[in-house]
Amino acid sequence: MEVSNDTKIAKLARRAFLQRTNLIGLSAAAATLIGTKHLYGDSPKKSKSGAPVDTPSEVFTAALVAEDLATTFYYNALIGPVIQNPNLAGPGGTPDDPNPTNSNPGNVMYLQAALFQEIQHANLFRSLLGISAPSADPYQTFYFPAGTFDTLQAFITMLGTLEDAFVGAYTIAAFEFAQMAVARQFDGTGAYTVDDLEYFAEVAGTILGVESEHRALGRVIGNQNPANNRNYESTDGLTSVYNGPHSAVAALTPFLTSTTGPAYSLADALTGAPSVYLATQGAPPKQM
C-alpha cells in the first residue's frame, strides 16, 4: 500500500529533530564564516554531552540558518495550495484577497506576520555575524517533504515540528549565553564582554517568545485545542545549539538535504515576501 505524503511528513516530523545526522555540510559552511577557533582556543573543552562547547558565533550561525529556513517555509505556505484551505484564504483566495464567504483572514494574517518576523530575526543574526546580504548566508536552498505546502494537515504538522525545534534551540541558546557570561568566556573570533553575553541571552529569550507564539497560532489554524497546551515550553530533545548529535544544527540537517524532497529557494522567498507578509512592530531589546 502506498504511503501518503501526509504520513511521510508526519514521520519526518517525529524523527528529524532527534536523529543522529551528518553535520559536515553546515559545519563546513559555518567554518568559512567564523573560522575554526573555538571558545576555548584550539583545544575546546567539552560539554556534559561530550560535544565541544558552542561559541557565540556558532550559535548565531545556527540561528541564521534556522531563520532562513523558517522564512522559506512561511513564504511557500502563503503562495502554495494550502493557502486555499477554508481555515486560511479559502477556495480561490489569496493572502491579500481571501474568499469572502469561506475563509479565515485572521489565520492568514498569523502566517503573514510570522513571515515578517522570521525575516527580522535573520537580519539580526546577519548583522551579528557581519554578513552583508542574504546571498552570503550559509544556505540558499531548503528541502521539504513532497506535499508539505499542499494540505493543511501536512503544513500544520511541519509547522509544529519546526517551531518546537526553534523554541528548544533558543531555550538552549539563552542557557549557553548565561553560562558564558558567568564563566567570563569569550568567542575565538573576537572577545565579547560579560554584558554582551548577558544581552545575547536576553535577545534569545525575546525571540523564543515569538517562536512560541507561532507554535500556538499554528495550533489555532489547525483547530488543535487548546492552542496554549503547555505549562512550560520544551527543549525538544536538544542539548546544544551547534555541536553534537542532539544540537539544533543536527535538527536542521534534513532540511538541507536534497533527498528530503523538493527544493525551495531562500532568494525567491525574500524577493516575494514583501507582496505577502504583514509588517509587525518591535525591535530587539536595547543593550544596557
Over residues 219-270, the pLDDT tens digits come to 999 999 999 999 999 998 999 999 998 999 999 999 999 999 999 999 999 9
Q: Answer whether residue 214 is part of any domain.
A: yes
Q: Answer whether residue 59 is part of any domain.
A: yes
Sign of the torsion formed by the C-alpha atoms of 1, 144, 146 and 156 = positive
Q: With b meaning 16 or more CB within 10 Å and e meaning fewer, what string describes 249-266?
A: bbbbbbbbeeebbeebeb
Q: Answer whether residue 107 is part of any domain.
A: yes
Domain count, the chain: 1
Q: How many CB atoms lie within 10 A of CB 147?
A: 21
Query: Which pLDDT tens digit goes with each residue over 18-43?
Result: 343 333 344 444 444 433 333 333 33
Q: Answer whether residue 222 is part of any domain.
A: yes
Helix (H, G, I), strand (E, B) or coil at 150: coil
**All three cell numbers of 206:** 525575546
Q: Answer whether residue 145 is part of any domain.
A: yes
**All three cell numbers of 11:** 514521520
pLDDT band of 53, cuts 50, 70, 90: confident
**CA–CA separation, 1 and 219 (whole Å):** 30
Element holding 265 (H helix, E strand): strand 263-265
pLDDT band of 209, cuts 50, 70, 90: very high
pLDDT, mean over the chain: 85
**CA–CA separation, 60 and 33 (whole Å):** 11
Identify the weakest region by mean pLDDT among 6-10, 100-104, 204-208, 282-286: 6-10
pTM for the whole structure: 0.86
Q: Answer whether residue 14 is part of any domain.
A: no
Q: Answer whether residue 200 is part of any domain.
A: yes
Cβ pair 239, 169 in contact under 8 A:
no
Q: What is the mean pLDDT of residues 209-220?
A: 98
- 12 pLDDT higher than 70: no
Cβ pair 71, 118 in contact under 8 A:
yes
Most confident range (mean pLDDT) of 5-19, 144-158, 182-196 is 144-158
- Host domain of residue 98: 25-38+55-275
Q: Answer whether residue 221 is part of any domain.
A: yes
The residues, any chain, with a CB within 8 Å of residue 101's CB and separated by 6 or more, are: 90
